[in-house]
Structure 1
Amino acid sequence: MRITGGKLKGRIIKCPDGVIRPAMDRMRESVFAILGDLTGKSWLDLFSGSGTIAIEAVSRGASSVELCEKDRIKVNTVLENVYVTEKECGVKIQCHFMPVEYFIKRCKTQFDYIFFDPPFPYKFHEQLIAEADRRNILKDGGTILVHRPEEHFMPDEIGRLHRTDKRVYGRSIVDFYKY
């Protein structure tokens, strides 16, 4: 995997052992182009895998970045990827190694962007986004992005959130939700 844009464009990211479904380069490049400059923005990468999405956010200017991944097999690779990024960009990526569901219930921080990229068999997209809404972890004017397979239906509204955009990348879809 490689970073598709920003300060770290072209940098190779190590892929951890275990089950991983990395977000396609084309999809990542498109999503970040839609979002534009992230300078000074906060970012939360949920179901982080290798940390690529969090690192892509840093590369494109995000100044406050956190990630969450529960798979302990991935810890060393994620930390190595994050450490190299912090040295190159000077932005600390806060890592949480626990189930995303637990993290959201404990989270006290608000973010400009929250990226959900659960394993494709995951069935609780809507419930997890509704919990993020209830916990008020998205800033006003912020965006929740959900990467999902095309066969997994997502409603236009979840709690106070409304789908504002939907992009299709082969069998993958990225939904954009805002207040």
Structure 2
Amino acid sequence: MRIISGTRRGKKLFAPKNDRIRPTSDRAREALFNILESMLPAPLSEYDFLDVFAGTGAIGLEAASRGARSVTFIDIDLELVKKNAAACRLPKLSYIQKDVRRLPPAARQFNLVFMDAPYNMELSVLTLSKLFEKGWLTDDAIIIVETAKMELLEMPPGLKISRAKAYFYGAARFTFVRVDPEYLKVR
């Protein structure tokens, strides 16, 4: 596992030697960032990136290496994230050690979010709801949700799937989600 592109391109990352964490593969990560680069209305340097269920931190570190304005990691255990971050020596990183089921109200908002909950545990919808309800998302936020290929992802109130197409890589599916502007009008 390594950083694919940017200022830390090729930097090897520590990966777990157990099955407790399931990192997004290099191939899937590269494809994800290629999709993002083609669809984002502004350069990555204009995005505050939130990596939820950060695991190894590979997605957030990739965003930082590619120039994200800031990157924040949320995970119940940040040991591996911090080990990889220290090895990469990237600026503008912050950490929140928290169970996402108990997220507090946001101290700040994010306009680009990646979340990769443990597969088939029904945490994705709950986490999307918490991020929206607790004010973690800007009104124009883009949220990428990684789930198991066959896992159903229902949208909680206030959010909607933003692209008709889901992207599949191995056992993973990437779904792009946005804040629903119609919901904001009546809120």
TM-score (norm 1): 0.87
SS class of match (2:45): coil
Candidates 150, 157, 160, aligned match of 2:158: 160
Q: How does 1:46-65 map to 2 (within 5 A)?
A: 46-65=52-71
> In the TM superposition, what are the counterparts of 1:23-102 in structure 2 within 5 Å?
23-36=24-37, 37-71=43-77, 75=79, 77-85=80-88, 87=89, 89=90, 91-102=91-102
Q: Distance in 2 between matches of 1:33 and 1:140?
A: 24
Q: How many residues align?
A: 171
Describe how 1:121-160 pairs up with structure 2 within 5 A: 121-155=120-154, 157-160=155-158
Corresponding position of 2:7: 7
Q: In 2, are the aligned partners of 1:16 and 1:49 still within 8 Å (CA)?
A: no
| Inter-CA distance 17–92: structure 2 relative to 1 (3 Å threshold) | farther
Structure 2 portions without partners, runs of 5+: 38-42, 180-187
Tell me how far 1:17 sits from its aligned partner: 5.1
Cα shift at 1:7: 1.7
Counterpart-to-counterpart distance in 2, 1:28 and 1:7: 16
Contact 1:145 1:176 in 2 (8 A): yes
List, as ranges, runs of 4+ consecutive aligned residues in structure 1 with deviation greater than 6 Å: none
Q: How far off is 1:83 after superposition?
A: 1.9
Distance 1:120 1:41 in 2: 27
Distance 1:48 1:126 in 2: 17
Work out whether 1:22 is the aligned partner of 2:23. Answer: yes
